Amino acid sequence: MNAFIDFIMGPMVWIAFLIFILGLIFKLVIIIKDVNDRESYIYSYLTLKHSLRSIFAWLIPFFPQSTKQSPVFYSISYIFHLLLFIVPIFLMSHIVLVNEAFQVSWVALDDGLADILTLVVIIALVFFAIRRYTVPEVKYLTSYKDYILILIIALPFITGFLAYHQFFLYKAMVIAHVISGEIMLILIPFSRFSHMIVAPLTRAYMGSEFGNVRHAKDW
């Protein structure tokens, strides 16, 4: 059993992170290559200034009109996306492991706080799932795949929460936590989670079209 744990907490972590990072880089390279080969006109319109203008406008909470019209969704979405990064990166247990492996460490969240934030992430995901099921215009677009995406993100947080509290089946829970986290990382480049890097690009293009050609705001 320890050999298995050693694998999922050792080489498998490397594999997951490499696939995650190289996958995203690969995706980016493919997009750039495709743009060069097939849609190089994009460069005629893309400007750094207007790209950043649009991206930043959309990063400011409740600045774009759309965000003002759906305040509940956006509030939860903002918090969710922030915590999705903050909680795992600043979780003490994770930092301890990184420190043992690489002798680097950084400031950690208080465990109690991290615990609450984890619950917040889970609640946000439950909200997304309920919204998918109840809001007609969202339900219309939803297929089982959308719930699977929610589940993929939810699992590492749920298992992490349960493992931390050592409620039951501790060992199984940690193993599930590690594996589900790795699955999540591996799937990012190959699923719609790749909006992590693609959305800034589509935003940049739309921002450039609006700023550069249309002389209008796109938020």
Q: How far apart are CA 215 and CA 219, in angstroms?
A: 13
Token pair of 79, please? 């918090």
Q: How far apart are CA 187 and CA 84, in angstroms?
A: 15
**Of residues 106, 107, 136, 168, which one binds other proteins by CB under 8 A?**
136
CB of 164 to other proteins, least distance (A): 8
Q: Is 185 in the site for other proteins (CB under 8 A)?
A: no
Q: Is 134 in the site for other proteins (CB under 8 A)?
A: no
Residues written for the chain: 219
Q: Which amino acid is at 116?
A: I
**Of residues 13, 129, 138, 152, which one binds other proteins by CB under 8 A?**
138
At residue 188's C-alpha, the angle toward residues 78 and 9, to 5°, is 105
The answer to whether 207 touches 37, Cβ cutoff 8 Å, is no
Q: Which residues contact 63 (CB under 8 A, 6 or more apart)?
A: 57, 219
Q: Is 49 in the site for other proteins (CB under 8 A)?
A: no
**Of residues 12, 64, 79, 179, which one binds other proteins by CB under 8 A?**
64
Q: Under the rule (CB under 8 A), what is the footprint of other proteins?
A: 1-3, 5-6, 30-31, 34-35, 37-39, 41-42, 44-45, 54, 58, 64-66, 69-70, 73, 92-93, 96, 99-100, 103, 111, 132, 135-142, 146, 163-166, 170-171, 174-175, 192, 194-195, 198-199, 201-203, 205-207, 209-210, 213-219
